[in-house]
Copies of this chain bind each other. A is one copy, B any other.
Amino acid sequence: MIHPSANIGKNVTIKDDVIICENVTIEDNVYIDYGCIIRENVHIKKGSFIGARSILGEYLFDFYGDKVNKLHPLVIGENALIRTENIIYGDTSIANNFQSGHKVTIREHTTIGRNVRVGTLSDIQGYCEIGNYVSMHSNVHVGQKSKIKDYVWIFPYVILTNDPTPPSNELIGVTIDSFAVISTRSVILPGVHIKEDALVGAGAVVTKDVQKEMVVVGNPAKEVCSVRKIKNKFTGEAVYPWRNNFKKGMPWEASDFEIWIQEIKIIEE
C-alpha cells in the first residue's frame, strides 16, 4: 500500500507488503525490502537500503491519544544500510553512510552523524547526540541525553545511564569524548564524562569521570594506567591511542592518521 502522495525517485525497488504512508520522499536508487512500514513524513535519501520489516517514522507518544500522527519528520541520509526490523522514530536525523544490524531501536530527538554503525539489538533511547564515525557493537543501550562525540567505539552490552537517583525526573546524560573506547558490558553512571582516548575495561562500573588517555577497570572502576602502556600481546607494540593503529572504515584508511589530520588542518586553514 503506497499512499498517492509519496514522492518516489528513479530506480527505486519496493518489495512486497511494504506500507508507505502520506508525505514520504524516497530518493533514487533506494531499495526497500519486504514488509517495511514507512510512516508519515519520512525522507530516505539516495542509495539507501531498508531491511525487511523495518519501521521508519515510528509514532511518538503524542500519537496514542487521538491516533493521529503529528509532524515528526525522520531523515535517513544517503547510502544507509539498515538491516531487518529496525525501528526508527520521527524527529530524528541520520547523516550519510549509516549502517545498522538487526532489530535496532532509535527513538525521537536523536541526531546521528556521518558513517555511524549501530549493532544488532542496540537501543538508542532518544534525545541523544551522536557524532561522526561512531561504532557501536551489538546490544548497546544509550540512555536519553547521552552525548557521544566523533570516532568513539562502544562494544557489546555497554550501558550509558542517566538517572543519578532512580526513579527521578532529573536525567543527566553521559558524555564520551572523541576516540574513547568503551569495552564490553561496562556501565557508565549518570553524568560521567569520559575524555579523549580513554579506555574503559570490560565489565567496569564507571562512577567518576575518566581522564584523557586513562584506562579504568573494575566495579567501581579505578584508574590503572595510561592507555600508552598497553601492548599488543603478540607484537609487543603500543596499541593506543588506537587511531595510530586501526584504520578500517576510518577516513584515514588509505593513509595514516597523522598524515590525514595534517591534511585536514591545511584544508581548514
Interface residues of A (CB under 8 A from B): 1, 13, 16-17, 19, 31, 34-35, 37, 49, 52-53, 55, 58, 64, 67, 81, 84-85, 87, 101-103, 105, 120-121, 123, 125, 135, 138-139, 141, 143, 153, 155-157, 159, 161, 163-170, 181, 183-185, 187, 189, 202-203, 205, 217-220, 230, 232-234, 239-240, 242, 245-246, 248
Contacts and interface: CB of A to CB of B under 8 A. Distances in A.
Nearest to A168: B246
A105 B120 contact: yes
11 contacts: A17-B17, A31-B67, A35-B35, A58-B84, A85-B87, A155-B161, A155-B166, A161-B184, A165-B242, A168-B246, A203-B219
A55 B55 contact: no
Contacts of A156: 141, 143, 159, 161
Contacts of A121: 105, 121, 123
B166 A138 contact: no
Contacts of A125: 138
A130 B178 CA distance: 37
Given A49-B64, A165-B232, A202-B161, A185 B187 contact: yes
Nearest to A240: B165
Contacts of A242: 165-168
A26 to B, nearest CB: 15
A199 to B, nearest CB: 9
A170 B123 CA distance: 27
Contacts of A135: 167
Q: Most B CB atoms within 10 A — which of A159, A164, A239?
A: A159
Contacts of A101: 105
A157 B155 contact: no
B84 A102 contact: no
Contact of A219 (B64, B164, B169, B218): B218
Contacts of A85: 85, 87
